[in-house]
Structure formats: C-alpha cells, structure tokens
Structure 1
Amino acid sequence: MFPSCLWIVTVVGVFSLVNAVTFVKIGNRYYYIEPRVQKNWFEAFQACRLINADLVDFESFAEWRLVDQYLWDNNIDNEYWTSGTDLGKQGFHVWFSTGKPIVPNIWSPGEPNNNGGNEHCDEMGYDRKISNSHRLNDKNCYYKLLFICKAR
C-alpha cells in the first residue's frame, strides 16, 4: 500500500511542477503574462482559472497604464486577451471577471466596433506600434492570442 501512495504523491508533485507559472508584481497586483502559448478567449479564461487567477481586467486607467508601461519597459510587445467582453449584452463591454464596465479611455480610436458582426472579446495591444500603447480592441473570441492573468 505504501508504494502506491508514494507514487501518487510523486505524480501530483511532478504535475504541479510542470504547471508552475511565475507572476510578476506590477503596482499593487500580481499578473501572469503568457509568453508562448496562444489560446482562444475561452481557453485563455480557463487557463487563468487553473492558476487561481482571472483574465486581466483594469479597475482604472492608472492600472492599465502601469501594465502597459511594464510591457513596453520589458520589451514584451504582443496582443493579449483580457477579460473584456460584450457576450452578455451586445455593444456593452464589461470585464467578465468583475462585471464592471470597461474604462472608456483605454480603447483604440474607433473601438469597439464589432467589425464583421462577430467581435465580442477584448484584446489588449491592438495598433500598439502606431499608438505606442497597448490599447483595447474587440476581436473574434475564437482568434488565438497570448493572454494576461491577474491573481485574485
């Protein structure tokens, strides 16, 4: 009996090590920035939940700016899923993680626009090369992107 228990503990221990992630402190919060694996919005949401976090939301312009600046300062320049969505009510974008409306001044100009009638999940980093900031854009939820998680 003892060797079987030992084997289970070993497997669980290896599983935990394989799935270990590193959160970075930005301002007063901790974030995980996925560097390699792209997922659709639903998969990204699930990945964050598995590490006791949520897809990132920004409670204020200042919080968004801190994360945006961290990305630029560390040469981390991509597009990332956030928890923003209008899946609950067309045209009304909220942070899925909190239910609160998205701060309006972090959108790229002309966004959100539901281009093609199927953009319901919000990414950070749209037009970043032009605007020099990782502004928000609505995008098709099934598009594969990197993602940012925010610790609970």
Structure 2
Amino acid sequence: MNVKIVLLLALLQLGHFAMSNETPDVTAQTNDLGKCLSSCKDFPIRIGTKLYYIESKLKVNWFGAVESCRKLGGYLLNIESATEMDLIVAITSSDRFWISSNCLAKDRDFISITTGVAMPYNRWQAGQPDNQAGNEYCVQATALGLSDEPCASLLSYVCQANIL
C-alpha cells in the first residue's frame, strides 16, 4: 500500500513538473449536490494534474462549449504552454476547437473566461488576431496556433479540469 502511495505522489510531482503553470481554483471535487465534479468518467484523458474531455462530434458555438464544460464540472480549455497545446492537438480529431480565450469584455483584449487574465500560451497564427468578420471575439485553436473567430461559429471543444 505504501508503495502505491509513493508511486502516486511521484506521478503527481512529475505531472506538476511537466505542467507547472496550473489554472487556479478549479479542482476535481464534489459539489453540494453530491455530484462529482471533474470525475474521471467525464474527463477520460489525464495529463499531469489535469483532466480533459474532447468533444469532436458535436459542434457548438463558443457559449455552448462554455456551458457544456461547466455542466461536466470543468471549464473550457485554458492553454498554458506550447507543450499542452501540442499534446491536445495531437490527441484531438478536430482540426479546430474552442478554447477559453475571448475579448467579449473589452474589444481586442483577449482573456480567459476561466481565469479572467490572458492565457500564458498565446501563439497566434500568422496575421491573427485579425477580426476579419468584424465580430471575431472568441478564440479557436488549430495545429497552426490560435485565431479569432465569431463566437456563433459551430466548432468542437475541449473541456479541462484540475485534480487534487
């Protein structure tokens, strides 16, 4: 039993080292209704101290993606490093997907709905953000990087949760 605990702690430390920039204050726990937030069954992919759920079949607008992640007990993906971005792009079958960044509160000031501040990762595609449609207030991620997109566009999405 002690060996299992030591191995678990070692894995947690390794995960923390690999993803040292963690989104604060959103952890896997139960809410007051007893529903498990961020349970492993809802978030089947674990990387370090984070759990992920990738929705690649159902396409929704950005607001629908935020709400779907909230209902699962998590939040829309808040990319914190190039490593995290590369891992998510490698395991998703979607060529583009919603992430938490947007400029809805202040025009062209992109912040994460999860943290209220700019995402640590902000590798924009060439020429982005460009607000080409005049209403590109939400952010999508692709293998090439980030780009602004109308929030009403229908895309896949990635939800995320931290574990204790």
TM-score between both structures, scaled by the size of structure 2? 0.67
> Which residue of the other structure, out of 65, 68, 74, is the alignment partner of 2:86?
65
Q: Mean alpha-carbon deviation: is it higher for 52-61 or for 103-112?
A: 103-112
Distance 1:111 1:145, change over 3 A: same
Q: Which residue of 1 aligns with 2:97?
A: 80
Do structure 1's residue 135 and structure 2's residue 145 form an aligned pair? yes
CA distance in 1, matches of 2:75, 2:144: 19
Unaligned runs of 5+ residues in structure 2 are 1-40
In terms of Rg, which structure is larger?
A: 1
| Contact 1:26/1:70 (<8 A) preserved | no
Unaligned runs of 5+ residues in structure 1 are 1-19, 126-132
Deviation digits for residues 42-87 of structure 1, max 9, x if unmatched?
A: 011000000001000112233223323334xxxx242111111000
> Which residue of the other structure, out of 138, 158, 164, is the alignment partner of 1:148?
158
The structure whose residues are more often helix, as a share, is: 1
CA distance in 2, matches of 1:111, 1:137: 5
Distance 1:113 1:102, change over 3 A: farther
CA distance in 2, matches of 1:87, 1:51: 23
CA distance in 2, matches of 1:26, 1:67: 10
Distance 1:66 1:27, change over 3 A: farther
1:10-89 equivalent positions in 2, closer than 5 A:
21-71=42-92, 76-89=93-106
Deviation digits for residues 22-59 of structure 1, max 9, x if unmatched?
A: 42113431110002111100011000000001000112
TM-score between both structures, scaled by the size of structure 1? 0.72
Structure 2 residue matching 1:35: 3-state secondary structure: strand
Structure 2 residue matching 1:34: 3-state secondary structure: strand
| Contact 1:82/1:147 (<8 A) preserved | yes
Corresponding letter in the other structure for 1:78: D
For the aligned residues, what is the CA RMSD?
1.8
Q: How many residues align?
A: 122
Q: Which residue of 1 aligns with 2:107?
A: 90
Q: Which residue of 2 aligns with 1:101?
A: 118
Distance 1:104 1:148, change over 3 A: closer
Q: Which residue of 2 aligns with 1:124?
A: 141
| Contact 2:131/2:149 (<8 A) preserved | yes
* Alpha-carbon offset, residue 106 of structure 1: 1.7
CA distance in 1, matches of 2:98, 2:83: 19
Instruction: Give the share of equivalent positions with the same residue, in percent.
Output: 31
